[in-house]
Amino acid sequence: MDIKLFKNALFEKAKAYGFSDCEIYYNNSKSLRVAVFQKEIAQYNNSDVSGVSFRGHINGKIGYSYSEKIDLDAIDFLLKEAAEHASINDGDDEDLNPDAKVLEFKDNSKFEASPETLINYALDMEKHGYEADERIKNIPMSITNTSEMETYIANSYGMELRQEGSYAMAMLALNAMEESQVKVNYELFLDKNFDNFNPEEHAKQGVAEVVKQLGATIPNSTKSKIILKNKAASDLFMVYMQNFYAETVHKGLSLLKDKIGENVANSMITIKDVAKHEKALLELNFDSEGTIVEDKNIIENGVLKGYLYNMKSAKKDSVKSSGNGFKASFKAPVATAPANFFINPSDKSFDELLKELGTGFIIDNLSGLHAGANPISGDFSLLAGGFYVENGEIKNAVEQITIAGNFYELLKDVLAIGSDLKFAPPQAGGSIGMPSMIIDNINIAGK
C-alpha cells in the first residue's frame, strides 16, 4: 500500500498504544541482474522489495520492530513487538530526530537500461573475454546488474525525508589456465550510469588482470614493503572501519579511544567522510536518523580529528551527530557507518609507486577477511595474492601467501599514497574508497 497512507495509519494507532513519539523508516529497492554462461542466460533476477521499520518511545523507553508486509494487518504486529521491546529495554536511550524538516533528494544520475540491454551486454562481455586471450578457459559468470533504491523517513515531530539513488554494476569472473595452473579473477566494474560501460574494455581489463597471475609461485617467507592495491585496501579498511565510530570507542572496543589530536597515522594520510564524491556511487544527504550528512576530516595529516557519530553517541560526548547514524538495512537498529569514506589520494601514478617500492610485493587481493582479521586488536593474517616486484619492475605473480600485520601499525607504516582512488560497492550507509598505498613492515608467509 502507499507508504504515506500506511504511515498515517501506523502513527494514529501508535498513539493509542501509548507511544509518545514514533518514526517510520521505509526502503524500497529494485534490482535487475543478468548472468550469462556459455552464451546462455544462466540467471535472470528481477526484484522489487519494500520494508518498513518502526521505532518509538513508550514510558520513556525506545522499542523497534520491522515488517516486509506493508498492510494494515502488519500494524498491530509492529506496535505490539516494539512495545514489548521497550518494556525490557535497559540499554542507553536514543532520541528521535526532533528536526521537523521536509526534504526530497532526487536521483541526479538516473538512467534507463532495459533487460535486453543488460542481457546483450553480458553476452558481449563474455564473447570478448574468450576472444581476448586463448588462456581463458572458462568464464563462469558474466554479470550485469542495475540497482535503484528509495529511502523515506518520517516521524511524529513532522520530519519527512526522501532520497533516491541508483547505480550499475558489471562483473566478469574469469578462469585462466596455463600448464595446469588455474587462476581466477573477479573483475568488478561500478558506475553511476550504465551508459558509461563498454563491454570490450571491461573484458580486456578483466582478462589482463587474470592472465598476469599465471605462472604464480610461492615466494619465501620474508618481511617486506608492499603496494596494497586500492581494492584490497578498501577490503582491509572495511574490517577496521568500526574503530572510527564513537559508538565503538564508548564500548571500549576501539584502540583509537583517547587519541583525538594525536598522530595515529603517517602525516601524509588524510581521511575524509562526505555526503557526495564524484567517484562515489551514491549520494547520502541524510543518515537513517534524518541527520544531514556533514563533510568532515577524520584524520588530517596523520592526526585523528574526530569519530563518526550517530545521535546517541553524539549525545554522550555532548557534540552534534556527524550524520553517520546509518542502519545496515531497514531491519537493523540505528548503528554507525560511513557515508563516503576515503583516504585523500595524491597525484602519484601507479608506475611511480612501483619505482618508489623498488623491491617488494604488490598485494591486489585479500581473502578470508571475516576470519583472519581481528577488528579489535588490529591484528590480521590474510590469504593474499599479487606480484613480486624487483627494482620497480613486476617479475612474477605470487600465490598462497599470507600477509600479516597490524592495522594500527599499518597506518603509521604508509610510505606513499597513489592517485587511483576507487570506491567499493556501497554497503550499509555508503562506501569506502582507497587509493593504492606503499606499506612497510608486512610479514609475508610463503614457503
Q: For another protein, which is the closer residue by CB, 142 or 166?
A: 142
By CB under 8 A, tell whether 425 contacts another protein: no
* Residue 2 sits in the site that holds another protein (CB under 8 A): no
Work out which of 15, 69, 110, 320 binds another protein, going by CB under 8 A: 69
Instruction: Indicate which single residue of 9, 149, 383, 415 sits in contact with another protein (rule: CB under 8 A).
Output: 383
Residue 215 sits in the site that holds another protein (CB under 8 A): no
- The pair phi, psi for residue 369, each rounded to 5°, is -65, -30
Span of 49-57, 229-237, 342-350, 414-422 interacting with another protein by CB under 8 A: 49-57
Which region, judged by CB under 8 A, interacts with another protein, from 7-15, 152-160, 423-431, 438-446? 438-446
- CB nearer to another protein: pick between 40 and 278: 40
What the block records as the C-alpha cell of 220 is: 619465501
Decide: 414 and 269 in contact? Cβ < 8 Å: yes
Stretch that binds another protein, among 193-201, 245-253, 299-307, 427-435 (CB under 8 A): 245-253
Asked whether the beta carbons of 429 and 338 are under 8 A apart, the reply is yes
Q: Which of 198, 193, 143, 144 is nearest to 166 (CA)?
A: 193
> Which of 149, 253 has the CB closer to another protein?
253
441 binds another protein (CB under 8 A): no
Buried b (16+ CB within 10 A) or exposed e, 288-301: bbbbbbbebbbbbe
Binding residue for another protein, selected from 8, 20, 45, 267, defined by CB under 8 A:
45
The number of residues in the chain equals: 447
Q: What radius of gyration do the chain's Cα atoms show?
A: 24
Nearest approach, Cβ of residue 107 and another protein (Å): 21
Cα 173 → chain centroid: 20
Instruction: Tell me how far apart the alpha carbons of residues 119 and 127 are, in angstroms, rounded to a whole number.
Output: 12
Candidates 88-96, 157-165, 194-202, 303-311: pick the segment binding another protein (CB under 8 A): 88-96
Distance CA 36, CA 119 (A): 8
What φ, ψ does residue 414 adopt, rounded to 5°?
A: -70, 130
Q: Within 13 A of 342's CA, how many CA atoms are on the CB side? A: 30
* DSSP designation for 292: B
Of residues 42 and 268, the one with the C-beta less far from another protein: 42
Which residue, 32 or 154, is less far from another protein as judged by CB?
Answer: 32
| Binding flag, residue 340, another protein (CB under 8 A) | no
Q: Which three cell numbers stand for residue 85?
A: 521491546
Residue ranges in contact with another protein by CB under 8 A: 37, 40-51, 53, 63-70, 74, 77, 81, 84-85, 87-91, 115, 119, 138, 140, 175, 182-184, 221, 251-253, 255, 331-333, 367-368, 370-372, 374, 376-377, 379, 381-383, 399-400, 402, 404-405, 443, 445-447
